[in-house]
Copies of this chain bind each other. A is one copy, B any other.
């Protein structure tokens, strides 16, 4: 890994074709490795030859880099006439992709936001705010993510289940408490709410509510099953 003290210097002609700049072999190696590292695709020798000082023996440079990286956790490999860095084969176990993260769908983001701002909120209320029905998969995704929970039951006819956010929700979004969520003025100020806002438009100040509010009853496991909210092995589809 020690950069070589090198006798043979190469020269690169400045674009304007003026005085050539001298590059040491170590320098050329550095450029080559940076180019391969930063490239999204394996890099062809022709591409390298174009970027490296004129007269560089690209193949020789790459061979040296191969040697340098051979004992490391990352190797320089050649596929066809292209070069790329790859995790050393014997270490592939450490980078196994055990946790592919998925983007939340727009619907899920909306529902999550409504739950955060309007909690405790029932499913019917969410639908009223969104103006569309919420597919079951959407709530499932949020539950699976660990950001949304059933809180209790509203003491109204039908005893609908109320939803709220979890401590993990705060963690993930870097909030200390729910009240840290920006309000109307701040959303406006940040340019997130734009244009004309009709009078009476309000954004609730979410309350930190670990305890049930006065119009909520605790929820039981039985309730959930009765409501069909817990479906064993339900596939989350959007």
Which residue numbers of A lie inside 8 Å of B, CB to CB? 1-3, 26, 29-35, 37-38, 51, 68, 71-74, 85, 87-88, 91, 94-95, 123, 134-141, 143, 149-153, 159-161, 174-176, 179-180, 182-183, 186, 188-192, 194
User: Known: A1-B68, A51-B94. Contact between A134 and B35, CB under 8 A?
Assistant: no
A186-B174 CB under 8 A given contacts A34-B94, A73-B37: no
Give the residue name and chain of the B residue nearest to A69 (CB): B1
- Report how many copies the assembly holds: 2
Of B73, B140, B161, B190, which is within 8 A of A191 by CB? B140
A139 touching B191 by the CB < 8 A rule?
yes
Q: CA A159 – CA B87 in complex, angstroms?
A: 49
| A159–B179 touching, CB < 8 Å | yes
- The answer on a CB contact under 8 Å between A73 and B153 is no
CB nearest to A163 among chain B residues: B190
Given the interface pairs A123-B189, A134-B189, the reply to whether A73 lies near B33 with Cβ below 8 Å is yes
Are B33 and A190 touching (Cβ within 8 A)? no
Chain B residues with Cβ below 8 Å from A159 are 179
Cβ of A102 to closest chain B Cβ, rounded Å: 16
Q: Is A30 touching B140 in the complex (CB atoms < 8 A)? A: no
Q: Which partner residue on chain B sits nearest A140 by CB separation?
A: B191
Q: Is the CB of B161 within 8 A of A149?
A: no
Residue from A73, A85, A153, A191 having most chain B Cβ neighbours under 10 A? A73
A208 CB to nearest chain B CB (Å): 12
